[in-house]
Structure 1
Amino acid sequence: MTRAQQIGVIIGLAIVAAFTVLRASDPPLLRQIRDITFDEYQRIAPRAFEPTPVRIVDIDEASLKEFGQWPWPRDRLALLVQRLSDLGAAAIAFDVLFAEPDRLSPRTVMRDVAGVDATLLSRLPDNDELFAEAIAGRPVVLGFGLTTEGNYRPPVKAGFAFTGENPVNAPPRIDAATPVRPQLQINATGLGHISLNPGNPSAVVRKVPLFLTDGEQLYPNLAIEALRVAQGASTYVLAAAPEAPDTLTSVKIGEFVVPVTASGELWLYTSPDVAERYISAGKILAPQGVDPQVAAAIEGSIVFVGTSSAGLQDIRTTALGQNVPGVSMHAQTVEQILTGHYLSRPDWADGMEILAIAVLGTILVVLTTFVSPAVALACGLCITALALAASWLAFSAWGLLLDPLAPIIAGSIIHFAATSFRILVIDRERREVRRAFGQYLSPSLLYRIEHTRNALRLGGDDRELTVMFVDVRGFTELSERLQPAEVVRFLNTLLDALSRHVTANEGTLDKFIGDSIMAFWNAPVDVINHPAKAARAALAMRETLASLNTSDAFGFGQDYQVGIGVGIHTGLACVGNMGAETRFNYSAVGDAVNVAARIESACKEVGFDILVSESTAAELPHFALLDAGLLGLKGKSSRARLYAVVGGEQVRGSSAFAEMQRIHTELVAALRTHSAESRKMLNIAKLKAAELTAILPQFYSRLGRRADHFRDNPGNDDDAMRTGLPRETKLHLEP
């Protein structure tokens, strides 16, 4: 790991820690994003409306048009209660406040008329008394609201039992309530608060508090009080978490056990607002009586009395984005309990999401730092898809609300930050490597260098290299015949075509020296079986040159064929960045480089295009090689044995080469003994060579001339296959 990578990981992990702490603090923005996500889930798959014994008697526009504006006199509400009770309603819950006396009551109206006798006034009916008499003994639940004024607390009509500690401090707080008319609160079977989201600034109703508390007493809401009264139950059973007394887990209402949040709230799983839920109040109050279909809908149902009239301003927004009457939310609460379709956010959800940010963020930091940005992005997208899929599966299959966006948003920002740091810092080093080596190395080698520390360090290392020199035959004569621009065009065409085989075989292009190429293998990183890869590159150059000549790619015509010589040697050399601190080249120096250059020069004397040293030949057991004799190297006291590379593995395994190799071995033995049969065997070798490859006949022609020379001038060396003469002698052979 480079220092830049270490810094990148440290910075990335610091960002991960910051997001983990931010999620643990759960600021309002994150809560809002989480709520919107859960809203979208409900919009995709809302709770289906199922017929249940729950109905809304709606004081709608039609009812107001028929019976007058709101508020109605309470004797009319008394009539409504009587008819609903006679129709068999299991419970009648009013989503209406009865905090003030009925201003339309005859007694109230006449009290303000001057001169009315008190005795007469006492004989006039009082609508509040009529309404109180109507609800007495009937399953009626009245509602109360919340206020910040006064200290009124409504009486509680139900008892409470607890499994574990008393969770009286768990629900939202109530400071004071709107008073309910005394005679009404006494005669009502149940009292419940009608607040849907107290203290929540959001207009969307997502959770309904089933209880409120003043620190001493719990107060149920209208919906569960209606459900309790409908069942004839007298007690709520609240279950608290054993390890957290002020944390609720469930509420038992008669026969129904309801899972709740820690503060006793019910997540609303909303269904679309449908007409089947509503019955117009005018149909119940119709003078001609109640329609049988309406009567059947009321019988045995929990009936909520409320209003959908926009003018009465009791309109709420659901998670589905619909604006519905507030009474609909109470009805849906009971529907949800009756059908058993719940949503829940487990206690471990927050911890899991925080852990997901920490773990996934760490993974993204590591991926972004150590693999390519494309791979890191692909992994990030996969993680995002898995988080969304897991969250959706939890919602659709088990009703669990798990937030996928917090880890996704945090992961995206972490990935962006880590990628930016990588581009600005880490990849800057790799871009320098690419600028230095991009033209000389294969992509695979370049990738390995990018991930190697100190790749651009000034200095060298001793390594075993396979060094190659390539030179154009007859270039000096050719350049005299061509214009300078034509020479440049020729060299660009040839050297580009040949050098591609170096990088394709994991070699390093060192430099172009006029019409020559210098390349080496096994640096700057290790290359497995580098002598064989150098030999394959040389054979590929031979084929490419033949193709260029055949297609007349140089424009010289078929009468002139361009030739090359390739020398390859494997040995120890010093390789590295050489030059100044601000300007240097990656190159190799040493005896192995000099030997390779001398072998390339020997190609002209030997009459073969690809020659390798004995050390290289030892690493090419599967290549077709022929002994080319000894070479007197300039500056070396001893000669080096060379081998001609006839072909690769395919040629090595052919029967033609096996026969050629047998003949060549016998020829070399005959030449060494100056046998009279050597000339005959040389002719046989030429004929056989012509069948194998076009380059071999020239090789044997020169071999014959050298053998004749050494037969006539034996010198001090008994090896008739040696190439070159004693240093005081020069030999000029015709091409």
Structure 2
Amino acid sequence: MKKGVSKSAVIIIGNALVVFICLVFLVFGLWKVLSDQVFDINMKQSMSGAPHEDILVIGIDTTSIKEVGPYPWDRKVYAQLISRLEAAGAKAIGFDIELYTESNFPESDKLLADELTKHKNIIFPSHADLEGDFDRSSKVKEGELIMARKTDQPIPMIQKSVNKAHINAAFDTDGVIRTNWMQINTPDGIFPTLGLALAQVAGVDVSKYLNLPVLQNRPKSEMLIKWEGKEFDFETIPFAKVLKGEIPPQVFKDRIILVGYTAPGSDEGITPIERHMHLVYAHANILNQVLNQKVIVPVSGAITLAMSALMILLFGFLTWRLKPITSIVLVFGVSLGLLALQYITFTYNDQYLDTIGAVLSGLISYIGNIAMKTYFETKQKNYITKQFGRYISPDLVKEIAKSDSEIQLGGIKRELSLLFLDVSGFTPLSEKLKPEEVVDFLNMMFNLITEVTLQNRGTIDKFIGDAAMILYNAPLDVPDHAYYAVKTGFEIQEGMEQIRRDVEAKYGVTLSIRIGINTGDVVVGNIGSYLRVDYTAIGDNVNTAARIESNARPNKVWVSESTYDLTKDYFEYEFAGEKLMKGKSAPLKLFEVVRITGAPVEGKKQDKVS
């Protein structure tokens, strides 16, 4: 199978797995926890903190309990409160208080019931039994009102004179109140939520709240609450002050009034904007939403799915087409852009565009594709390392691969030791061999040269027919490079002895290798044109090494004076004479390697061997 096909198959299978994982998360709502957190942040940041001025809360606070008496109170105090508020011109009064059983004072119950018969704008709520407060994880039928088994209603003498309403709270799976059932179907009829009922009693047009868009996987008439105020963003007056007449009557005129608990630890719940909110203020926020005719409309799930698909494609594309840093910046930027889009649509258009699924699907796609890309790049890097290792020392390859800094290419000046070798007698030998035998012989000879070179940390610059050029101290630093160059030449000559004997015995042809070595400053790097570039060395010292090789005796290693000075402590030399080289004004002193006598060790010299 071709490598390209294999790579394509892995990418296709990998991205199919990415799509499958994202679909599982989207279909089963596994992003919901994070989506809810972002929703809460949007809610907090967009709330005005200035609810409708017609709303007034009368709080049953700690001070009122101290002044009026221990709770529960005698129900005549509610009658007195209603009388005072009605006289002041209150538009509607809703009690977030449960009066489901008769009290120990029948005359007080009757007094309250008699007061209620005088008015048509009072609400004492009921509580619907929703099978354990309605488990959010249970299945509900979209498009139908949630159905209660029964209702706990105010006592009969009160019930007949008040408007219907429910005070059920809709808790999400994390215990936070983000929605409310605007209507609940019960055996006793349909009950609106307290805030909606108050608005209706006050004469507000509530028709849009009776036909709300159905939320995904939610019953009919469930509404996302638009929280606009924390507890005391709403004007709040202590119950006791109103009861004692300390508040001017005009404060209550044409106001919609909610009466509920504000004492610490009483009737509290968790909301997106406060961890401990007295639920009378939850009803106040719903009432405020109705008065302001606000409805948060969730964007279609199909759009969310389409956005997720787009992010999977986009982030996957960015991974393969761009450099890692660029792709990370763009992925981060696009993700922030989607979150900003969600906030803008929520704040200014009252639309809930859930982008978390799209963002996280895109991130899964990015992580999956970056993992595949890293795998293939590592595989390619290992392949290149393996191939490159045929030309330079494996130790150098490892250093290049793990180096944090780039190798300086493009031409730099540095001191190198350069080894040139040439095989004499190869032409007559090739005339006696078949073409495939010529290739086999060359491979055998160059294998020897390559192995010895790599063992001595050299870099094979090029093979030219039956000649070779080898560099030491490039592309990475090689301490004592002159020593390794000379050692390479000496070991190649030793290795060729058996090959020479075999060739002469079999074919009657005498082979010989001349090796010349010079050390000095050269220019090394990428040299050539934009069409063809070679990593090589150029300069006068390169030419000198080549000319030393051409003057060397067969099967010997000759070195220049500069190389001799650097290696004389490790090799035994014989003076080979002086040669006047082309382009030189003075003859060069040359030395022939006889044997190895020592080796440098961590910058120190070994004792010479005898």
TM range (shorter): 0.5 to 0.7
Equivalent position to 1:385, from 324, 330, 336: 336
| CA distance in structure 1 between the aligned counterparts of 2:207 and 2:347, rounded to whole angstroms | 33
C-alpha distance 484-145 of structure 1, shift in aligned 2 (>3 A): closer
* Equivalences for residues 177-576 of structure 1 within 5 A: 177-188=151-162, 190-197=163-170, 200-214=172-186, 217-231=189-203, 238-239=210-211, 247=214, 263-274=221-232, 276-286=234-244, 289-292=245-248, 295-311=249-265, 313-340=266-293, 342-346=295-299, 348=300, 350-369=301-320, 372-425=323-376, 427-437=378-388, 485=483, 500-501=524-525, 504-505=526-527, 529-530=531-532, 541-542=538-539, 562=541, 564=543
Name the counterpart of 1:141. Answer: 123
Q: What's the TM-score, normalizing by structure 2? A: 0.62
CA distance in 1, matches of 2:267, 2:481: 95
Which amino acid in 2 is paired with 1:76? V
2:150/2:187 contact within 8 Å kept? no
C-alpha distance in structure 1 between counterparts of 2:384 and 2:95, whole Å: 78
* Alpha-carbon contact 1:169-1:213 (below 8 Å) kept: no
Pair 134,365 (structure 1): closer, same or farther in 2 beyond 3 Å: same
- Structure 1 residue 2, shift from structure 2 partner: 1.8
Report the secondary structure of 2:177's partner residue: coil
The alpha-carbon deviation at position 144 of structure 1 amounts to 0.4
Shift of 1:221: 0.8
CA RMSD of aligned residues (A): 4.4
Q: What is the alpha-carbon distance in structure 2 between the residues aligned to residue 483 and residue 318 of structure 1?
A: 74
| 373 and 86 in structure 1: CA distance in 2 versus 1, 3 angstrom threshold | same
1:654 maps to: none
SS at the partner of 2:160? helix
Instruction: Give me the whole-angstrom Cα distance separating, in 1, the residues matched to 2:519 and 2:302.
Output: 64
Identity of aligned residues (%): 18
Post-superposition Cα deviations, 1:627-668, rounded to whole Å, max 9, x if no partner, equal xxxxxxxxxxxxxxxxxxxxxxxxxxxxxxxxxxxxxxxxxx
Specify which of 128, 137, 144 is matched with residue 109 of structure 2: 128
Deviation at 1:81, TM superposition (A): 0.5
Q: 2: CA distance between counterparts of 1:45 and 1:488?
A: 78
Q: Residue 467 of structure 1: CA displacement?
A: 8.1
Amino acid at match of 2:314: I
Aligned equivalents of 2:4, 2:253: Cα separation in 1: 78
In structure 1, what is the Cα distance between the partners aligned to 2:487 and 2:44?
69
Residue aligning to 1:7: 9
CA drift at 1:62: 0.8
CA shift digits 1:202-228 (9 cap, x unpaired): 322111221112499532111111011
CA separation of 1:564 and 1:263: change in aligned 2, threshold 3 A: farther
- Asked whether the equivalents of residues 145 and 219 of structure 2 are also in contact (C-alpha less than 8 Å), the reply is no
Structure 1 contact 77–131 (Cα < 8 Å) conserved:
yes
CA distance in 1, matches of 2:240, 2:164: 25
**Residues 495, 75 of structure 1: CA spacing in aligned structure 2 closer, same or farther, 3 A cutoff?**
farther
* Structure 2 CA distance for partners of 1:202 and 1:248, relative to 1, 3 Å: closer
Distance 1:340 1:236, change over 3 A: closer
Matches within 5 A, 1:586-605: none
Residue 56 of structure 1 contacts residue 303 of structure 1 at CA under 8 Å; is this kept in 2?
Answer: yes
- Work out whether residues 101 and 128 of structure 1, in 8 Å CA contact, stay in contact via their aligned partners in 2: yes
TM-superposed deviation, 1:141 = 1.3
Secondary structure at the counterpart of residue 500 of structure 1: strand
Q: How far, CA to CA, are the matches of 1:234 and 1:428 in structure 2?
A: 66
Secondary structure at the aligned position of 1:97 is classed as coil
Q: What amino acid is aligned across from residue 167 of structure 2 in structure 1?
A: I
Structure ID, larger Rg: 1
List aligned pairs for 1:581-730, cutoff 5 A.
Answer: none
Describe the SS at the equivalent of 2:47.
coil
Alignment partner of 1:96: what SS? Answer: coil
CA contact (8 A) 1:48 1:271 kept: yes
- Given the two structures, how large is their TM-score scaled by the length of structure 1? 0.52
SS at 1:2 equivalent: helix
Which residue, 134, 139, 147 being the options, matches 1:173? 147
Checking the alignment, whether the CA contact within 8 Å between 1:207 and 1:265 is kept in structure 2 is yes
Cα distance between partner residues in 2 of 1:180 and 1:424:
69
Check conservation: 1:89, 1:299, Cα contact below 8 A.
yes
Q: Is the 8 A contact 2:518 2:544 kept in 1?
A: no
C-alpha distance 340-232 of structure 1, shift in aligned 2 (>3 A): closer
In structure 2, relative to structure 1, the CA distance for the partners of 1:529 and 1:169 (3 Å cut) is: closer
- Indicate the SS of the match to 1:208: strand
Read off the aligned partner of 2:315 and give its amino acid letter. Answer: L
- Which residue identity lines up with residue 541 of structure 1 in the other structure? I
Q: Give the conservation status (yes or no) of the 8 Å contact 2:95–2:124.
A: yes
Structure 2: unaligned runs, 5 residues or longer: 133-140, 401-405, 410-461, 471-479, 490-516, 552-581, 586-610
3-state SS of 2:269 partner: strand
What is the Cα deviation at residue 488 of structure 1?
A: 5.5
Verify the 8 A CA contact 1:174 1:213 in the aligned structure 2: yes
Instruction: Sort the Cα spacing of 1:360 and 1:51 in 2 relative to 1 into closer, same or farther, 3 A.
Output: closer
Change (3 A) 1:180 1:466: same
* In 2, Cα distance between equivalents of 1:282 and 1:66: 7
Alpha-carbon displacement from aligned partner over 1:134-172 (angstroms, at most 9, x marks no partner): 12242101200122699xxxxxxxxxxxxxxxx995332
Which moved further from structure 2: 69-78 or 38-47?
Answer: 38-47
Note if contact 1:168-1:217 (Cα within 8 Å) is conserved in structure 2.
Answer: no
SS of the residue corresponding to residue 304 of structure 2 reads: helix
Taking the aligned partners of 1:14 and 1:149, their CA distance within structure 2 comes to: 42
Asked if the contact 2:183–2:192 (Cα under 8 Å) also holds between the matched residues in 1, the reply is yes
Q: 1:283 Cα deviation (Å)?
A: 0.9
SS at match of 2:169: coil
Say if 2:198 and 2:256, in contact at 8 Å, map to a contact too: yes
The CA distance in 2 between the partners of 1:14 and 1:178, in whole Å, is 53
Q: Deviations over 1:49-97 (max 9, x none)?
A: 2451101111111111111122212111111111011111100001111
SS in 2 for 1:89: coil
Give distance in 1, aligned partners of 2:289 and 2:183: 17
